[in-house]
Amino acid sequence: MAEQASFEALEELMMRQRAGRLFDSREVEDSLIERILGMATRAPSARNAQTWRFIVIRDTETKARLGSVFDELGSQMYGQGAPTRTPWAEVPVLIAVCSEYAFGEDESGRMALGASIYPAVQNLLLAAHAAGLSTVLTTRWKRREPELRPILDLPENVGIYAIIPLGWPAETLGKNRRRPVPEVTYRERWGRNW
């Protein structure tokens, strides 16, 4: 049994988590995916409800259909010149993250659901990164949910919160870049310098 990661080792790992959109064609084994999903489920959820459901997609036609919705949304959001770097149909695996509307439809309920899904999504991304895999988190699907239902057989009471392309990287990425903590942190109240 491995020892648990030290603070320093976790920090190094987190500093190198980047979105990767270019994958080589090597297969990603079911056993590795299952272990990564197990790590995803270690995240907290409101009332420990664990409403996350994962769909692991390898079928080329399904990937192409999802990719075409993604690229259309990209054009709507960013114009025709939008970069669409992810070659959806060739991505080895897509993982769709879904959930029932478990905490009510009001703003508070939606927030509880987001707070119960995206921590698991981050565990998934970080676990994949630790395994040497590339991923990219895509969340623009909400607007086209009715169209996704027949592609993925989603029931009416289930929403889609993310689709994560995953595979072995075809590019090398360095550290991520972020604003320094004092620029995003206050002390005691909003606006008071850290």
| Contacts to a second copy from residues 133-172, by CB under 8 A | 137, 139-140, 142-143, 152-155, 158, 161-162
Binding test (CB under 8 A) with a second copy, winner from 55, 82, 102, 173? 55
User: What's the min distance (Å) between Cβ of 109 and a second copy?
Assistant: 9
User: What's the min distance (Å) between Cβ of 88 and a second copy?
Assistant: 15
Q: Is 178 in the site for a second copy (CB under 8 A)?
A: yes
H/E element, 36: helix 30-40
DSSP 8-state secondary structure symbol assigned to residue 181: G
Q: Are 154 and 148 in contact (CB under 8 A)?
A: yes
Q: Is 176 in the site for a second copy (CB under 8 A)?
A: yes
Q: Is 84 in the site for a second copy (CB under 8 A)?
A: no
User: What's the min distance (Å) between Cβ of 60 and a second copy?
Assistant: 11
Q: Is 62 in the site for a second copy (CB under 8 A)?
A: yes
Q: Is 26 in the site for a second copy (CB under 8 A)?
A: no
Q: Is 22 in the site for a second copy (CB under 8 A)?
A: no
User: What's the min distance (Å) between Cβ of 25 and a second copy?
Assistant: 19
Binding test (CB under 8 A) with a second copy, winner from 26, 27, 35, 171? 35
- Distance, in Å, from the CA atom of 41 to the CA atom of 191, rounded to the nearest integer, reads 36
Residue span binding a second copy (CB under 8 A) among the ranges 21-29, 64-72, 84-92, 183-191: 183-191
Distances (CA, A) of 166 to 8, 28, 156: 26, 8, 27
Distances (CA, A) of 155 to 96, 111, 116, 120, 160: 14, 21, 20, 21, 11
DSSP 44-106: --GGG---EEEEEE--HHHHHHHHHHHHHHHHHHH-TT------GGG-SEEEEEEEE-TT-SS
β-strands 134-135, 158-167 pairing: antiparallel
Binding test (CB under 8 A) with a second copy, winner from 39, 82, 89, 173? 39
Q: Is 64 in the site for a second copy (CB under 8 A)?
A: no
Nearest residue (CB) to a second copy, 29 versus 107: 107
To 10 degrees, the CA torsion angle through 148, 149, 154, 160?
A: 40
